[in-house]
């Protein structure tokens, strides 16, 4: 079946809640994917950081194939022999006392919200139903009804009210605004240390440290959403480590499974995690044996293959190279940390999608966000040679007055 037929079937039978590029991927290996016609592409999105370890990493696939036919699910009504090892490995790697496993990132965020509220009522002494969680404009923490209640993206909210109360939104990176927003009933501050969906927005240096100090001053929790930023993406295990702080709660997902299986988790010390008692919270699939086996293998790959270090070195190289485009006709700003880079275009450039579509046809897959930003996030296994190949295509595409003219030139060259 050719690509167009797949597009037609998807449009006919699927809900129209995504606007993907029209490339029909059939298989993947490492940094590369192939479409149904056999054309090869470099994946420079990595499933929004879920595929940090590369597509179908052999060690992670082996863990999946070994565990799946042996024992897949017991629910949490019974114990299984894989969960304890997963807990131990993740706790020791991250330095937190306890792990609460879930499936998707949004579930992990919801878990953290529940933990913060219950902690406020049972530990801090906040009056019932008065706990407030401070969040930031431009945030993206998921798409549940509670989470979109504190989104500032109109499309995420329109038509989905009434919304969950108990959240206060302040400007991202604004030292004074967050200081003024703090008060005695603030249970927690919830933040992405770098905003991914918002366009790879990096807060001013010292902002996360400021949040840590404020949380301590007001006896509030500091909660980091590291679902996209964490597990090596920014050149550290966690993005908050760039400022040398330690939050009270961290939520992770995506690369926790290397893209093989939905696995997420909330991390915290005993002082926070002890608010949960049997029956307070749970998930049928959370912590299942397949998820635990896959996640352990994914973490081993991250550490053993030094993917965090690779992200730090190649990310710095890529950002330095791409920053030379700033001031050109199309590029307004290049920003990021590690192999997580946002290229913001001038509004006059006609939007980021048309550049992504041209790069797709030239063999590089990336995606736009917020109309004018191109996100780059290749798998962390990428080599310098592979990265240079992709950067050459990205740079020539962004330098062209009309990027589609490149396709015509290449078609003539091939013919």
Question: Annotated catalytic sites, by residue?
Answer: 140, 225, 254
Sign of the four-CA dihedral 360, 252, 240, 198: positive
* Token representation of residue 45: 């999105």
Contact 237, 230 (CB under 8 A): yes
Is-contact 256 295, C-beta < 8 A?
A: yes
Q: How far is CA 208 from CA 20, 191, 195, 213, in A?
A: 34, 9, 13, 9
Strands of 148-285, DSSP E? 167-170, 186-191, 221-225, 249-252, 264-268
**Distance set, CA 173 to CA 118, 193, 267, 362, 363 (Å):** 27, 10, 24, 37, 36
What Cα–Cα distance (Å) separates residue 311 from each residue in 46, 49, 53, 336? 13, 12, 11, 12
Reduce the DSSP state of residue 59 to 3 states and report it. Answer: helix
Entry field: residues in the chain: 415
Ramachandran sector of residue 199 (left: φ over 0; alpha: ψ -120 to 50; beta: rest): left
Q: In what order do the strands lie in the sheet with 364-365?
A: 25-29, 32-35, 40-43, 364-365
């Amino acid at each position: 079946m050719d690509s167009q037929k797949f597009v037609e079937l998807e449009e006919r039978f699927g809900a129209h809640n995504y606007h993907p590029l029209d490339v029909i991927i059939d298989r993947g290996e490492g940094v590369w994917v192939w479409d149904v016609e056999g054309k090869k592409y470099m994946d420079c999105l990595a499933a929004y950081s879920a595929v940090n370890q590369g597509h179908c990493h052999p060690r992670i696939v082996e863990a999946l194939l070994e565990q799946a036919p042996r024992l897949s699910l017991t629910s949490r009504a019974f114990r299984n022999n894989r969960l304890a090892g997963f807990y131990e490995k993740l706790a020791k790697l991250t330095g937190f006392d306890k792990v609460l496993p879930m499936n998707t990132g949004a579930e992990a965020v919801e878990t953290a919200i529940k933990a913060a509220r219950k902690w406020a009522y049972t530990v801090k002494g906040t009056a019932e139903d008065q706990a407030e969680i401070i969040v930031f404009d431009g945030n993206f923490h998921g798409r549940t009804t509670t989470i979109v209640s504190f989104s500032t993206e109109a499309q995420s909210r329109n038509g989905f009210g009434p919304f969950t109360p108990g959240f206060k939104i302040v400007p991202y990176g604004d030292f004074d605004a967050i200081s003024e927003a703090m008060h005695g009933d603030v249970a927690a501050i919830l933040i992405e240390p770098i905003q991914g969906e918002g366009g790879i927005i990096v807060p001013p240096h010292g902002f996360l440290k400021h949040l840590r100090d404020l949380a301590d001053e007001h006896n509030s929790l500091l909660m980091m959403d590291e679902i996209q930023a964490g597990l090596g993406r920014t050149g550290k295990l966690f993005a908050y480590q760039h400022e040398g702080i330690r939050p009270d709660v961290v939520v992770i997902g995506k690369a926790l499974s290397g893209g093989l299986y939905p696995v997420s988790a909330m991390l915290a010390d005993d002082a926070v995690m002890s608010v949960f008692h049997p029956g307070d919270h749970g998930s049928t699939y959370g912590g299942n044996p397949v998820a635990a086996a896959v996640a352990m293998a994914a973490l081993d790959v991250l550490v053993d293959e030094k993917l965090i270090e690779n992200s730090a070195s190649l990310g710095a190289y890529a950002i330095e190279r791409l920053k030379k485009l700033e001031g050109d006709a199309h590029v307004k700003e290049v920003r990021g940390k590690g192999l997580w880079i946002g290229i913001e275009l001038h509004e006059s450039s006609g939007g980021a999608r048309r550049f992504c579509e041209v790069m797709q046809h030239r063999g590089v897959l990336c995606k736009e966000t917020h109309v004018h930003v191109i996100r780059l996030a290749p798998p962390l296994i990428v080599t310098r040679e592979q990265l240079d190949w992709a950067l050459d295509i990205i740079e020539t595409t962004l330098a062209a007055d009309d990027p589609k003219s490149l396709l015509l030139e290449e078609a003539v060259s091939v013919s």
